[in-house]
Structure 1
Amino acid sequence: MKIMHRAITILGALVLLGGLSPVGLAQSEKTKQPKAQDFYRSGAQQAKQENYDAALKEFDQAIELNPNYGSAYVNRGYIRSTLGDKEGALADFNQAIELNPNDPTAYVNRGNLYYQGGNSQAALEDFNQAVTLKSDYAAAYLNRGFVHSSLGESQAALADFDQAVKHNSNYAEAYLNRAVIRAALGDRNAALDDLDRAVQLQPNYAEAYFNRGFVRAANGDQTGAVDDFTAAIRVRSSYAEAYGNRGFALVAMGQPQVAIADFNQAIQLQPNYAEAYKGRGDARAALGDQQGATSDYSQALEINPNYAVAYATRAKARSNAGDAQGALEDYTQALSMNASDDTAYTERGMNRKAAGDPDGAIEDYSQAIQINPGNADAYFQRGLLQLSQGNRQQALADMETAANLYLKLGQADGYRNVLAQLNQVR
C-alpha cells in the first residue's frame, strides 16, 4: 500500500522593504564651511555602503546644522531602525512628518517600523497615507500588501502587489511577493511566471530561487526543484531552508541517502529546524532505519510539540518497528491536532486492525473516506477487512471503488493489488 508523502516545506519570507529617502539632494555652493546638504549626501553614501555608524554621524551633523531638514530625519530614522534603535527611529519619522506631512517616504518608513513592532493597523494607516500622497508609489503598495498578507487578507495583498508591479515593472521583490500569494491561492503557474521574472531581474535573488523550487516541488517537478534549491544555496551558502527543502525533494526522487547530507547541513546551520529533523527522519525511514527515524521525529517534536505531521510519521516508524501501542498513541495525537488528515486515519485503521480491533479500524477507514472520497487506500483496506469478516458484497464494492481510484490516480501497484484480491473473491 502506498501512503501519500506529505513533505513539510517552508516558503521564503516575504520581503518587507524599507529604504533611504529618494528625495533629491540640493547642490550646495562651494564654501569653506560644509552645509547640511553635504553631510546629508555623505550620510546617504555611507548608508549605501552599509557603513551605518558613519552614516548616523553624518545625518546627526546635517540635522544639527538644519533642524528642519525633514529628509535627514527620515534617513536617520531608517539608520537608527537598522541599528536597533526603534524608539529613536520612531521619533525621527514623527519629526519628519511634522515638518513635512506630505512626504510619503516618511509614512512608508514609519509604517515599516509600526509593523515590526506588531502594530499592523497603524502600519496600514501609514501605507494608506503614502499611496494617497503618491498614487504610483510602488514600495508603499508592496509594504501594504505584505501587511495584508500577514493578516491573512490574500486578495487585498494580491491587489497591492499588482499595483506595485504596475508602477514598477522591474520590481523583483514585488514579483516574488505576488508569487507567494498566487501559490497560496492555488495559481501555481502564475506564481512560476512571477518567479521567473524575479530571477530574470535579479539573478542572485536567493529567495526567488527558493520559492520557485518550492512551487516546482508542489507541482511534482522535483528535478526542477532541486535545481532551484541548488541555485539558492549557490547564492547563499548558509540558507538552511534551501538545504532542507532540497532534502525533501531528493527523498521524493528516491535518493534518501543523498538527502540525509542536506538535512545534516540544514541542522548544522539551524539546530532548531524541526522540519529538517522530520525530513531526515523520512529519509532514514525510507532506508529502513526505523529507530533512527523515530529518534529524528522525536527531536522534531521536542522543538515543535504541535507538529502534527511528525506525530503521524513517527507513528508509522513505530508501527514498522513493531511498537503498535506507541504508534496508536502517536496517530491519535496527530489526529487530535489535525482531524482532517485522512492519511493518518487510514494508517491508524491499519494499526488498529493489526492490534485486533477491527471495528475501530473500519471506523477509521470510514472517517478517512468521509474526509477524502478519493482515498483509494482507505477503500482497499476497508474492503479487505470487510472480506475477512464475511461481508462479501461490501468488500466487493469497496475494492471496485479502490481499483477505479488507483487507475484514475495512475497508481499501478495499488491497482494490481486490488485486481489480485478481486480475482480471488469473484
Structure 2
Amino acid sequence: MSVSKGMGYLLGVLVLLPLSGCSSRSQVEPPKVVPQPTSLVLATPLQVSYQSELALARLGQMLGEMELTPEQRAELFYERAVVFDRVGLRSLARLDFNRALREKPDFAEAYNFIGVYLVQQQNYDEAYEAFDSALELAPDYDYAYLNRGIALYYGNRASLSVSDMKRFYDAQPEDPYRVLWLYLAERKLDEASAMSHLREHLRQHGDSAWNWDLVRLYSGTLTPTQLMASVVTGVKDNRELAERLCEAYFYLGKFELAKGNRKEAISYFKLALANNVYDFIEHRYALLELELMARKAAQPGGEVRREQDGKQPAI
C-alpha cells in the first residue's frame, strides 16, 4: 500500500525451486538443502518509467523558470517529491518535502511524508511530532493515523499504536490492510484477543478479493502456498504482479517472524524489496525489519534468541 492512499499488490512467474542433493559413489555426505520460502513467485523488478522521468524534468523546469507564489512553489515541490519517492530517490524526495514546508508551513501531506522517513531512520520522537503536526492541520487525515500508528508500533508504544490503528480501521473496516495493521498492533498487547478480533473482522467483512487472503493467512485458514496461488490469480500485468508480491512477501515475513522463523522472515523481507515498489509501505518497512533484525543479531545471544514479533525488546 502506498504511504498516502493504499497498500501494495503483486504478481509474476511462478517459480518453485526444490533443491536436491547429487548422489555420489563415494561416501561423501550430500550437500545440505538450504530452506527456501514456499512457492516463490517472481516479477520483473519495476523500472523508472519514461513518464516519471518526464515529470521530474517538467517540474524542475517549472520551478526554475516560472514566476510562482509560495503556495504554488510548495505544491510543485511536493509533487516532485512524490515522484522522487516513487522512483526510490528518497533523499531528494525528503529535501523537496522540506522545501514545500518552508513555502507552506501548514502542508499536512508533507508532514506525513517527513514522518514516514523519520520512522525509517528510527527517529521515532521526531516522527511522532511530524504526524502530530499533520493531524493538527488535517484531523481527518486517515493515513496520518496509519503512519503514526506504525511509528508507535516500531517505537514500542503498543497501546497508543492500537488507538491510532483502531481509528484508521474504523474509517474503512472493509479494507483488509486496516484489519492486518490493527491486528499487528493489538498482538503486542494480547495475542489471543488480537486473533479473536481478526477473525471477527474477517467474518464480517471478508470477501473473495485476493488481499483478504492475507488476513486468512494470519487467521490460520490459509497456508502460505495457498496465498501465493491467490496472489497470481487474475493479474493483468507485471506492475500489478510486482505490487501484489511486495505486499504478500512483507506480510509473510511478519507471519514467519512471529513464529520465530528468523531465516524465513529474512528471505521474505528481501523478496518484498526485490520488486522496487518504493512507494508501498510494505517496501519501506521490509527494509526497516531487516535493519532491526540485523541489530538484534549483532547483540550478545542475538542469533539464538527467539524473534517474537509481539514481544520485541525496546530498541
Is TM-score (shorter-chain normalized) higher than 0.5? yes
Which of 182, 200, 206 pairs up with 1:268? 206
CA distance in 2, matches of 1:315, 1:372: 14
Query: C-alpha offsets along residues 161-213 of structure 1, whole Å, 9 cap, x if unaligned?
Result: 00111111111111112212222233222221111011111111111111111
Q: Secondary structure at the match of 1:376?
A: coil
Taking a change above 3 Å as real, the CA distance of residues 371 and 214 of structure 1, as seen in their structure-2 partners, is: closer
Query: C-alpha offsets along residues 139-177 of structure 1, whole Å, 9 cap, x if unaligned?
Result: 111111111112221111111000111111111111112
Q: Secondary structure at the match of 2:206?
A: helix
- Structure number with larger C-alpha Rg: 1
CA distance in 1, matches of 2:296, 2:169: 39
CA distance in 2, matches of 1:227, 1:370: 28
CA distance in 2, matches of 1:255, 1:302: 28
Cα RMSD, aligned residues only: 4.0
8 Å Cα contact 1:247-1:263 kept in structure 2: no
Taking a change above 3 Å as real, the CA distance of residues 158 and 261 of structure 1, as seen in their structure-2 partners, is: same
Which of 165, 187, 198 pairs up with 1:229? 165
CA distance in 1, matches of 2:147, 2:294: 33
Aligned-pair CA distance for 1:378: 3.6
Greater relative CO (CA pairs within 8 A, separation 6+): 2
Q: Secondary structure at the match of 1:161?
A: helix
Match of 2:101 in 1: 165
Which of 120, 132, 136 pairs up with 2:52? 120
Query: C-alpha offsets along residues 323-348 of structure 1, whole Å, 9 cap, x if unaligned?
Result: xxxxxxx98876666689xxxxxxxx
1:317-356 alignment, distance < 5 Å:
none
1:240-255 alignment, distance < 5 Å:
240-255=176-191
Match of 1:13 in 2: 4
- Are 1:307 and 2:232 an aligned pair? no
Structure 1 unaligned segments of length 5 or more: list them.
1-9, 16-115, 282-291, 320-329, 341-367, 382-408, 411-426
8 Å Cα contact 1:238-1:269 kept in structure 2: no
- Residue type at the aligned position of 1:300: L
Aligned-pair CA distance for 1:118: 6.0
Aligned-pair CA distance for 1:259: 3.4
Q: Secondary structure at the match of 1:175?
A: helix
Name the one with the larger helix percent. 1
Query: C-alpha offsets along residues 363-418 of structure 1, whole Å, 9 cap, x if unaligned?
Result: xxxxx99992326264579xxxxxxxxxxxxxxxxxxxxxxxxxxx69xxxxxxxx
Match of 1:280 in 2: 219
8 Å Cα contact 2:172-2:178 kept in structure 1: no
8 Å Cα contact 2:115-2:130 kept in structure 1: yes
Comparing 124-133 and 303-312, the one that deviates more: 303-312
Aligned-pair CA distance for 1:128: 0.9
CA distance in 1, matches of 2:53, 2:191: 47
- Residue type at the aligned position of 1:203: P
8 Å Cα contact 1:205-1:232 kept in structure 2: no
Query: C-alpha offsets along residues 271-291 of structure 1, whole Å, 9 cap, x if unaligned?
Result: 32254344334xxxxxxxxxx
Structure 2 unaligned segments of length 5 or more: list them.
7-47, 232-244, 272-292, 307-312
CA distance in 1, matches of 2:196, 2:50: 38
Taking a change above 3 Å as real, the CA distance of residues 302 and 158 of structure 1, as seen in their structure-2 partners, is: same
Q: Secondary structure at the match of 2:116?
A: helix
CA distance in 2, matches of 1:203, 1:312: 30
Query: Aligned pair count?
Result: 224
CA distance in 1, matches of 2:225, 2:191: 23
Which of 62, 66, 73 pairs up with 1:130? 62
8 Å Cα contact 1:247-1:279 kept in structure 2: no
Match of 1:146 in 2: 82
Aligned-pair CA distance for 1:239: 3.9
8 Å Cα contact 2:81-2:97 kept in structure 1: yes
- Are 1:199 and 2:135 an aligned pair? yes
CA distance in 2, matches of 1:146, 1:225: 26
Q: Secondary structure at the match of 1:307?
A: helix
Taking a change above 3 Å as real, the CA distance of residues 152 and 196 of structure 1, as seen in their structure-2 partners, is: same
- Are 1:209 and 2:141 an aligned pair? no
Aligned-pair CA distance for 1:120: 1.0
Taking a change above 3 Å as real, the CA distance of residues 312 and 184 of structure 1, as seen in their structure-2 partners, is: closer
Taking a change above 3 Å as real, the CA distance of residues 213 and 299 of structure 1, as seen in their structure-2 partners, is: farther
- Are 1:373 and 2:295 an aligned pair? no
Taking a change above 3 Å as real, the CA distance of residues 260 and 174 of structure 1, as seen in their structure-2 partners, is: same
- Residue type at the aligned position of 2:181: N
Query: C-alpha offsets along residues 212-270 of structure 1, whole Å, 9 cap, x if unaligned?
Result: 11110010111111100111233344443222101111112123344343365367168
